[in-house]
Structures are given as C-alpha cells and as structure tokens.
Amino acid sequence: MEKKNLLEAMSRSITDGEITETKRLATLAVESKMDLNEVIDMGFVPGIQKTGDLWEKGEYFLPELISSAECMKAAMRILQPALTRLQLKTQSKGKIIIGTIEGDIHDIGKNLVASMLSANGFDVIDMGADVKLETFIQKAEQEKADFICLSSLLTTTMLGQKRFMARLKEKNLSSKYKVLVGGAPVTQKWADEIGADGYAENALTAVKLVLVLAGK
Ligand code: B12
C-alpha cells in the first residue's frame, strides 16, 4: 500500500475503533521500518483527533471515545518498544518527570509526549494519570529531575497546573526544575500567566522545546 494510503488507514482504524486493524498497521509500520514519528503524527494522531471532533459534534458518544482511546493505546504499545530501540545509545540528555494532573484521567497525549521524549534520548519517568501535585514534587526531588511535564485535558485540572507552580514557589523550588505544561485547553498565554517555563502544542514541538531548554 502507498504511504499516504497507509497513514489514512491508520487514522481510520483509530476513528472506527478497529483494534485488530490498528494493531496490524502498527506492526506493519515497525516491520517495514517506516518513520515512526511520521506514523504517530500523521497516521494515528489524526485518527484520535477526528474522534474528538465527532464527539464535539455530538456524532460520537462515550463508547466510541473509549474504543478510539483503546486503539490509540494498542498502537503505542506496539510502537513504543521500537521507538525505544531506536533511541541513541548515548548518555541521557536529562531526566523528566511527566504525568497528568490529579482529577484527570486523560493520558493519550501525555503518553505520546513521554514516548517521543524517551525516543529522543531523555530519561523519562511516567507517573501516569490522576497524579497528586505533591507526588510530582516528591518524585522530582527523589530522582533529581531536570524537567517536570504536566498534562491537563480538562479546564478544571488546568487550574492544578497553576496550583503546582505556586506550590513549587512556596517550597523555594521554582529555579530547580523547568516546568512544561500542555494538553488541549492549555496555551502559551496560560503558561506565561502561571509562570511555567514552557508550553508545546504537540509531542514533536515538546521535544524541540525540551532540547532547547536542556541546551542540546
Ligand atoms: C479520548 C478522550 C477521552 C477518553 C480518555 C482516554 C485516555 N486514556 O486518555 C475518555 C473516554 C476516558 C474520556 C473521559 C472524559 N472526558 Co474526554 N476526551 C477525549 C478526547 C476525545 C480526545 C483526547 C485525546 O486523547 N486527544 C488526542 C491527544 C493526542 O491529544 P492531546 O491529549 O491534546 O495531547 C497532545 C497535546 O495536547 C500535547 N500535550 C498533551 N499533554 C502535554 C503535556 C506537556 C507537558 C506538553 C508540553 C504537551 C502536551 O501533546 C499531545 C500529543 O501531540 C477529548 C476531545 C479533544 N478534542 O481533546 C475529550 C475531552 C478532553 N474530554 C472531555 C470530558 C468532559 C471528559 C469527561 C469529564 C467525560 C465525562 N463526562 O465523563 C471524562 C473525564 C474524566 C476525568 N476525570 O478525567 C472534554 C473536556 C472539556 C473541558 N473543557 O474540560 C473534551 C475536550 C471533550 C469535549 N469537547 O467535551 N475522554
């Protein structure tokens, strides 16, 4: 199949919630040594985005959302080990703590950012979703992290990002870590307002930003 058609089929398999097809296409991408950044960004991600659009239009309901999300996770479970194998076998470029803020269970975007950072040579500790603010700080201190990446998909949990910045300040830890924020409702304006060190719109720009902030 032509690359363009393959990428479209990947996207469609996510939107249609066809998990067997998703797994087949992800495996094919790995076996045929396709550019996995492209496969994620132009194949699978547009599929989950389309699901989001259909949900917003009221054409999709929770079961469809869940099926698409399951497909996306299945694709990443196949792509992630291959991305990790491709990671340059050099010294880590820095340590990153990443997670979705407490009260928020969305983790697809956060997982993508974590995968891409890891594939680009960073040592990534993924705390999962619904993570308490204090747990991020404890882990960062324990692991001597360089970056803390906070994901929020809900407008309510975005406020957790603001509270996190205030808590770091209270503990005199603001200059110790670079904090990046992201997630669909988050903007550069919001990042500036709460005093975060950076914001990125997607996983690829997140990698570029972290590389710059890490001086790499
Ligand atoms: C899939 C999905 C779900 C799945 C989540 C599965 C999972 N394991 O993640 C399920 C079905 C479980 C779900 C549940 C809910 N959802 Co939902 N969900 C979505 C949906 C359709 C897609 C989200 C997604 O995965 N996008 C694809 C990924 C690739 O994009 P992304 O997450 O934005 O991530 C990218 C960037 O933002 C960025 N990024 C992300 N994180 C970070 C972090 C950093 C540091 C950086 C730099 C960058 C970055 O890079 C990522 C990769 O490119 C969105 C709609 C939408 N348009 O976003 C609604 C949406 C987020 N959900 C919504 C809601 C309301 C809910 C529920 C409350 C529904 C309910 N009534 O129960 C619950 C939430 C419960 C909770 N407490 O968390 C609303 C939020 C509204 C709001 N303004 O707050 C949305 C916007 C839908 C809508 N329009 O109403 N949801």
Residue carrying the six token digits 């919001």: 190
Same domain, 82 and 99: no
Helices in 16-124 by DSSP H: which ranges?
A: 19-31, 36-38, 45-56, 62-86, 108-119
For residues 66 and 156, membership in a common domain is answered with no
Instruction: List Cα–Cα distances, 68 to 79, 92, 107, 121, 206, in angstroms.
Output: 16, 33, 13, 29, 23
Residue to mutate, 44, 106, 199, ligand 1, most ligand atoms under 8 Å from C-beta: 106
Please tell me the predicted confidence (pLDDT) of residue 17: 95
Among candidate residues 39, 64, 86, the one where a domain is terminated: 86
Q: Using CA atoms, how far apart are residues 112 and 201, in angstroms rounded to an integer?
A: 12
Q: Report the alpha-carbon distance of residue 35 to residue 20 in Å, rounded.
A: 21
Are 80 and 118 members of one domain? no
CATH (domain of 14): 1.10.1240.10
Strands 123-126 and 147-151: unpaired
Cα 124 to Cα 116: distance, rounded to the nearest angstrom: 10
Report the separation in Å between the CA atom of 106 and the middle of ligand 1, taken as the mean of its atom positions: 5
Task: Answer with the one of 61, 86, 111 that is the final residue of a domain.
Answer: 86
Of 60, 86, 112, which closes a domain?
A: 86
Collapsed DSSP state (helix, strand, coil) of residue 109: helix
Closest residue to atom 54 of ligand 1, CA basis: 52
Which residues are CB-contacts of 78 (< 8 A; sequence separation ≥ 6)? 23, 26, 27, 30
3-state DSSP assignment of residue 88 = coil
- Centroid of ligand 1 to alpha carbon of 91 (angstroms): 33
Instruction: Please tell me the distance from the alpha carbon of residue 102 to that of residue 160, in angstroms, as a whole number.
Output: 7
Q: 139 is in which domain, residue-wise?
A: 95-213
| The two three-digit tokens of residue 168, written as one number | 């770091």
Q: Are residues 100 and 185 in the same domain?
A: yes
Q: pTM for the full model?
A: 0.84
Q: What is the pLDDT of residue 90?
A: 47
Number of independent structural domains in the chain: 2
* Whether 99 and 178 share a structural domain: yes
Segment 124-128 long-range contacts (CB within 8 Å, at least 24 positions apart): 124/96, 124/98, 125/95, 125/96, 125/97, 125/98, 126/98, 126/99, 127/97, 127/98, 127/99, 128/99, 128/100
Q: Which residue is closest in CA terms to ligand 1's atom 90?
A: 56
Of all atoms in ligand 1, which is nearest to the CA of residue 41? 53
Question: What's the DSSP call for residue 44?
Answer: I
Index of the ligand 1 atom closest to the CA of residue 157: 84
Give the pLDDT of the chain (216 residues) as one tens digit per residue: 788 999 999 999 999 999 999 999 999 999 999 998 889 889 998 998 898 889 889 999 888 988 988 898 899 889 988 887 766 444 678 999 999 999 999 998 998 888 778 766 788 999 999 999 999 999 999 999 999 999 999 999 999 999 999 999 999 999 999 999 999 999 999 999 999 999 999 887 898 899 999 987
Shared-domain flag, residues 101 and 206? yes
Antiparallel, parallel or unpaired: β 123-126 and 198-199: unpaired
- Ligand 1, residues 49, 65, 153: which to mutate, most atoms within 8 A of Cβ? 153
Residue 104 shares a structural domain with residue 204? yes
**Same domain, residue pair 145 and 184:** yes
For residue 104, the SS3 value is coil
- What does the DSSP 8-state code read for residue 101? B
Q: Say if residue 61 is in the same domain as residue 152.
A: no
- 188, 117: one domain: yes
Residues with CB under 6 A from ligand 1: 45, 48-49, 51-52, 55-56, 62, 65-66, 69, 103-110, 112-113, 149-151, 153-155, 180-185, 200, 202-203, 206
- Please identify, by atom number, the ligand 1 atom nearest to the C-alpha of residue 204: 53
